[in-house]
Amino acid sequence: MKRFGSIVLVTFMSIGLSAYSQQGQQFRGGVGKNPDKIGNADCKIPNLTDEQQQKINDLRVKHINDVTPLKNELGEKRARMRTLQSAEKPDLNAINKLIDEMAAVRAQIQKKAAAHKVEVASLLTDEQKVYFNAHQGRKFDKGMKRGGGRHGMGNGRGPGYCGYNIQN
């Protein structure tokens, strides 16, 4: 009888763990199936009109298209940096030159992000601008993706305004 009880207990524990792992992120603090929490469904800026949402989304797409090549270039330079630094005899002049190039690309990305913020703010009412300005400087998406990467495991604090990071 003890053996039967142990088997039943183990079975229920397995089913419970399996059910927990299948329940989805809506019960564990993630987006899950709630469309109100997904990225730019409401952009978290109060009282946006449909026209404002569409214009913000268009600006977002344009911004992403503008900065993606720069981010790719920066990624290539990071890879080159790892190669230079891991050489048997690292060339300090080449490393320093690459550091300067990477800084220039980062500056371009930041300038585009600043211009994008100004464009988005120009579409908002005074009340919406107060909210937008109070929430814009945070990098909410760092560490958001599961599976590690540069910022470790975990869900992070969410994707930030309109579902993407406007700073990068």
Q: Cα(132)–Cα(134) distance, rounded to whole angstroms?
A: 5
Residue of higher predicted confidence among 25 and 53: 53
Residue of higher predicted confidence among 56 and 14: 56
Radius of gyration for the alpha carbons in the chain, expressed in angstroms and rounded: 23
Nearest by Cα to 155 from 72, 32, 21: 32
Determine the straight-line distance between the first and last CA of the chain, rounded to whole angstroms.
63
**The whole model's pTM is what?**
0.60
Residue of higher predicted confidence among 168 and 74: 74
Q: Which pLDDT does position 11 carry in this prediction?
A: 76
pLDDT tens digit string along 25-42?
Answer: 444 444 444 444 334 434
Q: Which pLDDT does position 15 carry in this prediction?
A: 75
Q: Mean pLDDT across the stretch 73-93?
A: 97
Domain boundaries, the chain: 57-134
For residue 120, the one-letter residue type is: V
Q: What is the CATH number of domain 57-134?
A: 1.20.120.1490
- 103 pLDDT band (50/70/90 cuts)? very high
